[in-house]
Amino acid sequence: MIEVDVRAQLGAFSLDAAFHAPSRGVVALFGRSGAGKTTLINLLAGMLRPASGRISVDGTVFFDTAAKINVPVERRRIGFVFQDSRLFPHLTVESNLRYGLSRAPASDRRIAFQTVVDVLGIAHLLRRRPFSLSGGERQRVALGRALLAQPRLLLMDEPLASLDAPRKAEILPYIERLRDEFALPMVYVSHSLDEVIRLADHLLVISDGRIMASGALTDIVSRLDLQPMLGRFEAGAVVDCTVMAHDDHYQLTTLGFEGGQLRVPLVDRAIGAHVRARVRARDVALALAPPADLSITNQLAGVVTALAVRDGAFVDVAIAVGPTTIRALISRQSRDRLRLDHGSHVWALIKTVALDTRSVGFMRRARGMMDVQ
């Protein structure tokens, strides 16, 4: 368990953050620029000292003002990956990696050099120097160096923020593979909801130095009250699915979930594999009866469980499709025309093309580097 209850003052900015999060899986720290994300993980790492509070990971106390404990950063055994790779420019890739390995006593070296090289696909880069690498390659090496330091916790501060879209698509599968193969506690900082939904198990939402929500990613993303912090048109639902069937002729995959099925563009995963589908509220239309002669393939019967009127023209609608909640963003005029209220029976309509490669990602992968992006 990661347990944090800290206060800090940096100039005019104050942070007062408290949360408990599981140490297994990926904990995502999400918020807009200036929300306090980097400050909070710097406190976790020991690079900043809280004014007061307590920090512990799996029972090991890093900081406790009451007990007068403040473990130095070099003794916390925390791996840190920054926005820029911060590799040593005068060293080769192999020497950068072995520097990370040298930071851990031989008795603690449970993560092997060759395993990291193989998982990150960097064997062909070992003799090169950082200046000759692409941005994505540099970040893969930085990940390897952090892992080889044998950390008890891995912190990643917006590691993809400086990369363009193709480089992000290149490195995301490697981060997923690290998550799955090494089972290290990870705190992943980002202001990109796409990255968070693809990688995280637990989500922390931070705003103005305060933790506004903490819980399972699927629960937090679907909360209507958090929409202002998640993004006006980015909110929606995250649905845990299983690959049911492939249609090679039409290049489509059928995903099953508790409550129904979704047809999405072809996903390169075996039948029975688990994937995660993100259904944006803005991509869901509602009908009072199953429409005929319509191009929209995904038509899910459900019941309205909540409505939230936004400022302006829009209404957020939560629809229960069996035990799964789907969200729709519609106009206030449409709500009144359809006379929608709590308990209304509706059909949620979702275009297949809306569930593109940014919306369907792998929850867990065993081996191999197949990717839908």
The DSSP secondary structure of 16-66, one letter per residue, reads: EEEEEE-SSSEEEEE--TTSSHHHHHHHHHTSS--SEEEEEETTEEEEETT
The tokens describing 127, both together, are 């003799």
Instruction: Report pLDDT for 235.
Output: 75
- What percentage of the chain has pLDDT greater than the value 70? 94
pLDDT of amino acid 303: 97
Query: What confidence score (pLDDT) does residue 234 get?
Result: 67
Q: Which of 77-81, 286-290, 356-360 has the highest mean pLDDT?
A: 286-290
Q: Is the dihedral of CA 294, 300, 302, 305 positive or negative?
A: negative
Predicted confidence at residue 359, as pLDDT, reads: 57
pLDDT tens digits, one per residue of 111-121: 889 989 998 88
CA–CA separation, 16 and 10 (whole Å): 12
Helix H or strand E encompassing 330:
strand 324-331
Query: How is residue 68 annotated by DSSP?
Result: T
Residue 329 binned pLDDT confidence (cut-offs 50, 70, 90): very high
The Cα 351–Cα 40 span in angstroms is 39
Handedness of CA 275, 276, 282, 288 (dihedral sign): positive
Please choose, from the candidates 336, 226, 319, the residue with its C-alpha nearest in 3D space to the C-alpha of residue 279: 319
The DSSP H or E segment spanning 177 is helix 165-182
**Residue 80 pairs with which residues in a beta bridge?**
155
pTM of the shown model: 0.79
As a 3-state breakdown, the chain gives helix, strand, coil percent values, each rounded to 5, of 30, 35, 35
- Ranges 56-60, 179-183, 250-254: which has the least confidence: 179-183
User: pLDDT band at residue 361, thresholds of 50, 70 and 90?
Assistant: low
Q: Which residues pair with 125 in a beta bridge?
A: none
2-10: strand order across its sheet: 13-21, 2-10, 52-57, 60-64, 69-70
d(CA 76, CA 39): 17
365: confidence class by pLDDT, cuts 50, 70, 90: very low
Tokens of 353: 């093309």
Domains assigned to the chain: 2-221 (3.40.50.300), 236-362 (2.40.50.100)
**DSSP symbol at 182:** H
Q: Is the pLDDT of residue 364 over 80?
A: no
Beta-carbon-side half-sphere exposure of residue 187 (alpha carbons within 13 Å): 31
SS (H, E, C) 121-173: CCHHHCCCCHHHCCHHHHHHHHHHHHHHCCCCEEEEECCCCCCCHHHHHHHHH
Which of 53, 147, 158 is closest to 96 using CA atoms? Answer: 147
User: From residue 148, how far is each of 77, 106, 195, 295 by CA, in Å?
Assistant: 11, 11, 24, 51
Q: Check pLDDT > 50 for residue 373.
A: no
Mean pLDDT of 269-284: 89
Q: Give the closest residue to 100 by CA, choosing from 69, 44, 134, 145.
A: 145
Given this model, what pLDDT does residue 27 score? 94
Is 244 within 8 Å of 262 (Cβ atoms)? no
User: What mean pLDDT do residues 255-278 have?
Assistant: 90
Position 109 scores a pLDDT of: 83
**In the predicted model, is pLDDT for residue 346 greater than 90?**
yes
Once rounded to an integer, what is the mean pLDDT over residues 84-103? 90
Q: Are strands 13-21 and 2-10 parallel, antiparallel or unpaired?
A: antiparallel
Total count of residues recorded for the chain: 373
Helix (H, G, I), strand (E, B) or coil at 331: strand
Contacts of 232 (CB under 8 A, 6+ apart): none
231 pLDDT more than 80: no
Q: Is the pLDDT of residue 259 over 80?
A: yes
Look at residue 322 in the predicted model and tell me its pLDDT: 93
Both tokens assigned to 114: 């060759």
Collapsing DSSP states into helix, strand and coil, what is residue 103? coil
The percent of residues above 90 in pLDDT, for the chain, comes to 53
The C-alpha torsion from 119 through 117 and 109 to 71, rounded to 10°, is: -80
Average pLDDT value for the chain: 87
**Model confidence pLDDT, tens digit, residues 39-81:** 999 999 999 999 999 999 999 999 999 999 999 988 888 888 8
- Banded pLDDT at 15 (limits 50, 70, 90): very high
pLDDT number for residue 360: 63
